[in-house]
Copies of this chain bind each other. A is one copy, B any other.
Amino acid sequence: MPDIVPLPPGSTIGILGGGQLGRMLALAAARLGLRSHVCDPDPGAPARQVTSLSTIADWGDASALAVFARSVDVVTYEFENVPAAVIDAIEPHAPVRPGRRALAVSQDRLAEKDFLSGLGLATAPYVPVEDPVSLAAAIARTGLPAILKTRRLGYDGKGQVRISDAGAASGALSALAGAPAILEGFVRFDREISVIAARSPDGSFAAYDPGENVHRDGILHTTTLPARIDSAAAAGAVAIARRITDALDYAGVIGVELFVTRSGLVVNEIAPRVHNSGHWTEAACLIDQFEQHIRAVAGWPLGPTDRHSDAVMTNLIGDEVATWPSVNNAALHLYGKAETRPGRKMGHMTRISPRQK
């Protein structure tokens, strides 16, 4: 294991992406006496509001990215679709964590599924699709219904088309406008859970208790702790997260979404970053996922992951944010976004209650 020297207080964390996750990372870094420098193409990125250090740069502007990288001590990111060229521009000047391999795997649904399968982990049945011929062959393997997904740049249900019958197949393919895709077979599951885990550069590992997720319109709606799973399933989910992070030589927090099925746990997807389904940790754990991520990328010892309370985190999507004045008995977290749009994550709230088990 490499001997990692923790970045001392006063060091600067570079954050690629200035949305709500970057913002919450910056707030967490501040608690540890660390500076944050936010880099994003959008001048109005909300994370800029919470730090005095900020760069406006397009992802294609290698020289601006190099200047940014030289001004910080380590670089992390709030989104998995960081172009490889951005890492190329930064890595000569500052370490990037979680790192290149985690990005490569999670940017491409096919690479991700191949990686997971290679570890012996169960995934939905999947077949790469490039054209109507390969789609027909894929349907023959997965059966219907199935979901056609772009290999890249999908999130919150975007870049996905459900195919319920063979007649809809060609329409689904044209909806993706020729982008490379995979067809995923349906997984019959009892519930969906996620594990938020962290790994240090020195290989140490810590995971929060799995939360149970409910989606609405393809977007996370609630995460509830504890998940309605037995302790063997919980331990199995954490073991899967450990296996994934070890295989990626990972440094940082990861979100691993899993389906709980009658035949065991099936990995849905991984996100090499802090994750919406980990927002409950702010309210129900001493050290939340944001601080844990900063600790990991800064080479600090990981914090405890015990849950002191049960919790229900609810996203505030679009107009739901207008309910803020009436949020009582919950921790409210709003993201500082100037414009409310349908489907946009504007905030979240977490209710806690004494632990029942």
Q: Report if A50-B33 is in contact (Cβ < 8 Å); known contacts: A287-B331, A325-B6, A328-B301.
A: no
Distance A339 CA – B327 CA, assembled complex (angstroms)? 40
> A30–B308 contact, CB under 8 A?
no
- How many whole Å from A295's CB to the nearest CB in chain B? 10
Q: Report if A31-B286 is in contact (Cβ < 8 Å); known contacts: A51-B50, A300-B325, A324-B9.
A: no
> B336–A35 contact, CB under 8 A?
yes
> A336–B33 contact, CB under 8 A?
yes
Distance A331 CA – B292 CA, assembled complex (angstroms)? 11
Counting every copy of the chain, the complex holds: 2
User: What residue of chain B has the Cβ atom nearest to residue A291's Cβ?
Assistant: B331
> A33–B286 contact, CB under 8 A?
no
Q: Across the interface, which residues of B come within 8 angstroms of A342, CB to CB?
A: none
Q: List 19 A-B contacts (CB under 8 A).
A: A6-B325, A9-B324, A9-B334, A27-B27, A27-B50, A31-B332, A32-B334, A33-B334, A48-B52, A51-B51, A51-B52, A52-B52, A283-B286, A286-B329, A286-B330, A304-B328, A308-B309, A308-B352, A308-B354
Chain A residues proximal to chain B, CB less than 8 Å: 6, 9-10, 23, 26-27, 30-33, 35, 48-52, 54, 283, 286-287, 300-301, 303-304, 308-309, 321, 324-325, 328-338, 347, 352, 354
10 tightest A-B contacts by CB? Answer: A33-B334, A30-B50, A33-B336, A9-B334, A286-B331, A31-B333, A304-B329, A308-B309, A27-B27, A49-B52
